[in-house]
């Protein structure tokens, strides 16, 4: 039987992640409160942030920015797209 969580993004019970997707306390909070579907939404949002801000994820400043945005996305009211961002049609 699949593990379920009360997903903070979807606002309902949904299939949980198989493991903590990020190290440390933030990863554990995500594992405990975020569904697989919500995690996929974050991955899409993260990809947009990397592309729009032209980030290099191996750089410490870029990783810190993405970690901050991840925390906002899941636990802080959301992570906004850049003002100039135009979603694909």
pLDDT above 80 for 9: yes
In 10 A of CB 5, how many CB atoms?
20
**So what's the pLDDT on residue 1?**
63
pTM (predicted TM-score): 0.87
Task: Quote the pLDDT of residue 77.
Answer: 81
pLDDT confidence of residue 85: 75
Question: CA dist 57 to 8, 42, 47, 62, 63, Å?
Answer: 26, 15, 10, 5, 6
CATH for the stretch 4-75: 1.10.3880.10
């Amino acid at each position: 039987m699949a593990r379920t969580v009360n997903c903070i993004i979807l606002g309902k019970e949904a299939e949980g992640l198989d493991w903590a997707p990020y190290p440390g306390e933030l990863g554990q909070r995500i594992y405990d409160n975020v569904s697989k579907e919500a995690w996929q939404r974050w991955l899409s949002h993260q990809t947009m942030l990397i592309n729009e801000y032209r980030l290099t994820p191996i750089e410490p400043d870029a990783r810190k920015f993405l970690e901050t945005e991840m925390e906002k996305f899941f636990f802080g009211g959301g992570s906004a797209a850049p003002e100039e961002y135009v979603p694909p049609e």
